[in-house]
DNA sequence: GTCAGTGCAAACCCTTTGCAGAAAG
DNA sequence: CTTTCTGCAAAGGGTTTGCACTGAC
C-alpha cells in the first residue's frame, strides 16, 4: 500500500510506478490506474468494482485487463485475494497478515488486525504439507 | 450426519428419511439418494461430485435438482457450505463447529476439530452485528 | 386432485482465453 | 524494432431459472 497522506496527484503516480517497478511489473498506463485506485488506501474491492472505479475517470481499461492485472498484482504480492463469497473474489490492498469480518448482508469486508485475534494452536498439517496462509473469517449479519 | 456403523442399506435409507422429515423436508427419491451419498460419513463434496456419485448408481438425478437439494439441505442445517475456493462451493456433512485445512494443490479439505484450534479472542463485530459463523481456513501446499 | 419437486435447456455471472493491434523500452 | 500488454469478443465453468411434466400426499 502507498502512503498518500497529503500527497499531490503526481507524487502518488510516481510512487505507484516505483512500487510496480520494484516488483518487476512493467508500469503500463492501465496498471498504474488500477494500482492508484486500489493501493491508495486499505480496502477490499471486487474485480467489477475496480473496473467501474477506474473507468469513472477519463481513461478506459477493459475488463480483461482488470482481471489480468489483479491476477498479476496478487501473484507479485502487491495485493491479496480474499475468498469469502462463492460468487466473486475480493482484492485486499492490505497484504499484512490479518483477518476479516464479512457482512453477508451487504457483501462488505472489515479488517481484523492480526493482534486483535489470536489463533492459539493448531494441529500439524496432514502429509507434511506446508502452511501457506491462515485465514479467519467471521461472518456477521444484521441482528434479527 | 448419520450413524452408519454396520447398518444394512435399508436401515440407512430409513434413517435418512427420518432425518429429512425432522427438518421438514419432503423425502423425495432424489433427495434421499443425495442425502445417503453425502451424509453417510464426514466428507466434503462439490455439487459436481455429488452429481456424479449419485448418478453412478442406477437412478438418475439432474444437475438442477442436485443444486436445489444442496441449497435446501444447507438452508435447513443438514450440511454446511464451505467457501475456500473461488470457483466452487464444497458441502460438508459435518455441521458441528470446526475448521479446515485446504490443500490448494489437490483441492481437498481436511477437518480440524474444534478443540484442536482455539480462536483466543476477537473484537466486537462492527455496527452491532451478530456473529453467524467463525471460520478458520489453513491453506496448505506441497513442501517445495 | 392439488401442490410441491424434478428435468431439461437456456440463461447468468464471473472469469479466462485467443488473437490482432497498440504501447513499452 | 522486438517484446510485452491491451482490447475485444467469444468461450468456459459453476450455478440459477423458467416452465412443462412427474411424483408426493
Best interface-test mutation with B: which of A138, A141, A142, A144 has the largest number of B CBs within 10 A?
A138
CA distance A109 to A115: 18
Whole-prediction pTM: 0.90
What radius of gyration, in Å, describes the C-alpha atoms of chain A? Answer: 17
Contact, A89 vs A50, CB < 8 A? no
User: Per-domain residue ranges for chain A?
Assistant: 9-85, 94-140
Nine-digit cell at A22?
520494484
Q: How many CB pairs under 8 A join A and B?
A: 126
Query: Residues B48-70: pLDDT tens digits?
Result: 999 999 998 666 899 999 999 99
Residue with cell 503526481: A10
Q: Where are the alpha helices (DSSP H) in chain A?
A: 9-22, 29-39, 47-56, 63-75
C-beta separation of B141 from B105 below 8 A: yes
- State residue B127's pLDDT score: 78
- Residue B26 Cβ under 7 A from any strand D atom: yes
* Residue A141 in grid coordinates: 449479519
pLDDT per residue, tens digit, chain B (144 aa), is: 776 555 556 667 889 999 999 999 999 999 999 999 999 999 999 999 999 999 986 668 999 999 999 999 999 999 999 999 999 999 999 999 999 999 999 999 999 998 888 887 777 777 788 999 999 999 999 866
Dist CA B86 CA A84 (whole Å): 8
Cβ burial of B35 (10 Å; 0-12, 13-18, 19+) is: buried
For residue A140, list chain B residues with Cβ-Cβ distance below 8 A.
Answer: 125-126, 129-132
Nucleotide nearest the Cα atom of B66 (by C1'): C6
d(CA B50, CA B9): 19
CA distance A43 to A11: 21
- Lookup: nucleotide whose C1' is closest to A66 CA: D6
B8 touches chain A (CB under 8 A): no
Label residue A74 by pLDDT band (50, 70, 90): very high
Which tens digits make up the pLDDT trace of A3-62?
765 555 666 889 999 999 999 999 999 999 999 999 999 999 999 999 999 998 666 899
B114–A contact, CB cutoff 8 A: no
Nearest-Å Rg of the Cα atoms of chain B is: 17
Q: In this predicted structure, what is the pLDDT of residue A124? A: 76
**Per-residue model confidence (pLDDT) at position B66:** 97
Contact between A34 and A88 (Cβ < 8 Å): no
Q: Which residue of A has its CA nearest to B86?
A: A86
Alpha helices of B2-132 — where are they, by DSSP H?
9-22, 29-39, 47-56, 63-75
Per-residue model confidence (pLDDT) at position A128: 81
Q: What is the pLDDT of residue B122?
A: 72
Distance of alpha carbon A98 from alpha carbon A109, whole angstroms: 12
Contact A103 B130 (CB under 8 A): no
Comparing every residue's Cα with the C1' atom of nucleotide D3, the nearest one is: A26
Window A47-106, strand D contacts by Cβ < 7 Å: 60-65, 68-69, 86
Kindly report the average pLDDT of chain A as a whole number. 90
CATH architecture of B9-85: Orthogonal Bundle (1.10)
Question: Three cell numbers at A142?
Answer: 444484521
Q: How many other CB atoms are found less than 10 A from the CB of residue A68?
A: 14
Amino acid at each position: 500500500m502507498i502512503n498518500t497522506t497529503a500527497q499531490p496527484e503526481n507524487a502518488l503516480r510516481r510512487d505507484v510506478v516505483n512500487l510496480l517497478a520494484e516488483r518487476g511489473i512493467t508500469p503500463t498506463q492501465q496498471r498504474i490506474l488500477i494500482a492508484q485506485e486500489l493501493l491508495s488506501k486499505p480496502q477490499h474491492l471486487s474485480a467489477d468494482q475496480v473496473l467501474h472505479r477506474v473507468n469513472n475517470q477519463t481513461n478506459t481499461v477493459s475488463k480483461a485487463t482488470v482481471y489480468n492485472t489483479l491476477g498479476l498484482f496478487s501473484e507479485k504480492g502487491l495485493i491479496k485475494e480474499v475468498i469469502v463469497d462463492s460468487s466473486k473474489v475480493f482484492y485486499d490492498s492490505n497484504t499484512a497478515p490479518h483477518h476479516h469480518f464479512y457482512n453477508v448482508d451487504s457483501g462488505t469486508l472489515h479488517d481484523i488486525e492480526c493482534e486483535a485475534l489470536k489463533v492459539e494452536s493448531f494441529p500439524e498439517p496432514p502429509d507434511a504439507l506446508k502452511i501457506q496462509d491462515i485465514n479467519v473469517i467471521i461472518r456477521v449479519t444484521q441482528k434479527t
